[in-house]
Structures are given as structure tokens and as C-alpha cells.
Amino acid sequence: MAKRAFSSKAAEPESSRLPKLQVISRDKHPVSRNDISKNAIKVLYRLHNSGFEAYLVGGCIRDILLGLEPKDFDVTTNATPEQIKSLFRNCRLIGRRFRLAHVVFGKEVIEVATFRGHHGASPQEENKKNRTADQDEHGQLVRDNVYGSIEEDAERRDFTANALYYNIADFAIYDFANGVDDINAGILRMIGDPEVRYREDPVRMLRAVRFATKLNMQMDNSVSGPLKELAPLLINIPPARLFDEFLKMFMSGKAEANFLMMKDFGLFQQLFPMLKDYVADEQSPAYQMMLKAFKDTDRRIAEEQRVTPAYLIAVLLWWPLQARREQLENEGGLPPMDALNVAAADVIHRQSQRVSLPKRFSLPARDIWQLQRRLNITKGVRAQKVLEHKRFRAAYDFLLLRSYAENSDKKLAGLAEHWSKAQDNPAQLKSSKPEAGSGRRKPRRRRGPRRKPQENKGNDAT
């Protein structure tokens, strides 16, 4: 396939124009096909052999240059989604905001995107069939099926470190925004005006934090400057999409660093509005409990131990849960367990308005909360059943976390110590006395109505 003649025709302001393209030949960069997924190589070669341009793009190239192991391999091409689908039987098209092709190889999915173009460049371009874009009143792109050239695609990328393209035709890296220089300098820089780019997609603010912590890069002042002011724009993002970002921020080994940076920029408070007052006081038990949970999550991931979003959900909503439970008990007169269940439903519902909480995670979180009451029973049959509960380990870890955060509560510390010992010696849970209410009563024999004695109807003398 003949090389494309690169030009710089952009319908963006001069401030967002890209620097001169740098083509880094194979002998001058460390990216090898051995570093790339075999399935991604298959996709690249099939597109290339079918006459289309095919590039690995973005994070996978950036990570390889940094010596990291890429988790995903994304491909970009000048083929339309329909043309991509015609080449791969194992392909499905997804997305409304921007149409994408997913080529499925078992558990691995290679995402293939058509070169994105600029929207609103001219009335003629807006009328083209393949150019469809809409923005809302906040400047956010709600539909973005606008296709263009590779140069336009590079300008539409968010950060310079992500505007790197590995060409399967010549194995060279095409650097459109001095991304390699910024990676070497450890600077996270935005392509175009950061405020405009954040308004187009507020999730970019979360991505800025995540890349800064993951890649150990310093945000450029123009990148960090607008974050506090524009943080409220996150309320316009669908809750399901924010849950995906929640997983990326807190389940990838950088939870503590992301939490601290998000809090400083006011982003965490937008995702968890019920926690706004709790994170304001860094000495409070609530803040210490959250911080310790994030540290523990990072440690477990580093040690390749299992982690679950359900546990973090239980931690983050624990204090709003307690406040609501106490309100229901004091003002509504509900019994403790009823108040707990109603409060759990309330806080999960309220949080789901901002960040979606799937039931596969919210229900285990509720189990952890309910078990905190049951852990107060330390002897007898019911205590033994708690030890056998499938969520006991998570509830026990949660109890230890509470004991750490509320270190002045001696009763809580004693309870944590009791259950620590009980796991090594379950026999100590047995009670020498019958547990109140646990023994089976002998069933009472039901009697019918007492029959009146019959009158003697014999031959009485008259």
C-alpha cells in the first residue's frame, strides 16, 4: 500500500494545530511486534492487506515506550465501521456517541475505530452522510460520528502522549503532537484548549488524573488549571459511564493517589456528593477509613490478591448509611435492623443517581453492612453461623477497618480481637449456657375445647 501523503488541513483554531509530524523509524524506537497482542497483529494485517490504513494507537504505544505492559490494544483505520465488520466475522458494532467495531477473540477484544474528523467545519461537511455530530448546551459532544483523516484523528485525541500511531505498513511510530518528547519529560499535556476539550467530554478530567498517577507524570498547568471550576460538569455524564471510570480509578492499583488528587481538584466530591463533608476533615474517622481502604486495595492488587468493588462501595457509603439509619431510628421509630435495611436502600439509590451501582456489587455491600450487627453476637449457634457466612471474611476485614478508623472505641477493638481469635479456634464460640432464644421449645400440645360433663339421663326417681 502506498504511503499516505500527510497534510495539515484542520478546521480547528490555530492554537490547537499540531506540531510538525515526526516519523520515528523502526530502528529508533523500542516497540516490537513481540510486545503486541497476536490478535491485534491479525487485525492490523487483515486491514492492511485489504487496502486500508491500519495503526495501533494511543495508550498501548505509550505504555510500551514507558516500559509498562499494555492492557488493551486499540486499532485505528480509514475503514468505516461497516467495512470493518465485513472483514471480520467475529466483529460487532457498538456505540451511539461514536461508532466502534469490536473484534472478539475469546476473552480479548480488539477495539477498532475509524479516523475521527472535526465537526462543524463547514455546512458542506455537516451535510455529508458520514459526518454527524451534536453538542449540548454545555459544549459536551453527545453524538460524534464524524470521520476524517489521520491528521484530524490525532488532533481529536486528548493528550499528546496518546497521539502516537504505530504503522503496520512500515513499523514506524507517527508522532503528531510531540508526544514522545512529553513522555520523556514526564509532562501530561493536552491537545488543543483544555477547557474546550473538558467541556466536550468531562470524563477527560478523570482521565487527566488517572494518567498523571499511572504514568507518574506532572500535569501541565493548562491541564490542571480548569479542573476545579469545571468539575461540576461531571453531573452531565451517565451514571453507568462513571461507574466504569470508578473501576479504572480505584481498582487498578492507584486508588490512594487517585483519591487524593481527585479530592484536591473537587472531582471525587462530584462522584460521591454524600461524602463532601466527610472528606473535608482529614482527621475524621470517615476520611481515615476511606484512605486506609484505598491503601489496602492498592496493596492487595500489588500482591495479586482478589479485590472487589463491593467492598469499596461498603466503605464509601458506610458513614452516610449510619447517619440515615440513626435518623430513621430516632425520628421514624424504626427497629435497628429495619432502619438499617431502609437506610441501605436509600443511600444506594441516592448514590446510583450519580455513579451507577450494579446489584452484583451493591447487594454484597449490603451483606457486609448487615453482618456488622451480627458480629456483635460472640457466642452460641448464631455466632457460629456468622463465621460460616460466605461474606464473613469481607465483613471481618470491614470490622478491622472500622476498628482502625475509630481507634478510641475500645469495644470495637475488643470485638475485632475476638473474631481474629475465633477464626483460629472456632470452638471458643460455643456457649456453656443455652443461648437465649436459640434452644428449641417443646411444642405445646393443642387441646380442643373442654367438653362439659354430660348430665345423667338415667332412670332418676321422680
**Residues forming the active site:** 72, 74, 158
CA angle 339, 341, 345 (to 5 degrees): 115
Phi then psi dihedrals of residue 252, to 5 deg: -125, 15
Q: Which three cell numbers stand for residue 355?
A: 455513579
Residues comprising the chain, all counted: 462
CB atoms under 10 Å from CB of 452, counted, come to 6
219 forms beta bridges with 188
In the block, cell 497476536 appears at 38
Query: Is residue 64 within 8 Å of residue 70, measured between CB atoms?
Result: yes
How far is residue 135's CA from residue 270's CA, in Å, rounded to a whole number?
A: 22
Query: Is residue 73 within 8 Å of residue 40, measured between CB atoms?
Result: yes
CB atoms under 10 Å from CB of 292, counted, come to 16
Query: Is residue 230 within 8 Å of residue 199, measured between CB atoms?
Result: yes
CB atoms under 10 Å from CB of 90, counted, come to 12
How far is residue 257's CA from residue 254's CA, in Å, rounded to a whole number?
A: 6
Q: Which is it for strands 218-219 and 187-188: parallel, antiparallel or unpaired?
A: parallel
Q: Strand, coil or helix: what is 228?
A: helix
Q: Side chain identity at 326, as an amino acid letter?
A: E
Tell which residue, 300, 280, 278, has the closest CA to residue 289. 278
Handedness of CA 358, 361, 365, 371 (dihedral sign): positive
How far is residue 202's CA from residue 161's CA, in Å, rounded to a whole number?
A: 19
- Residue 171 class from Cβ within 10 Å (0-12 exposed, 13-18 middle, 19+ buried)? middle
80 forms beta bridges with none
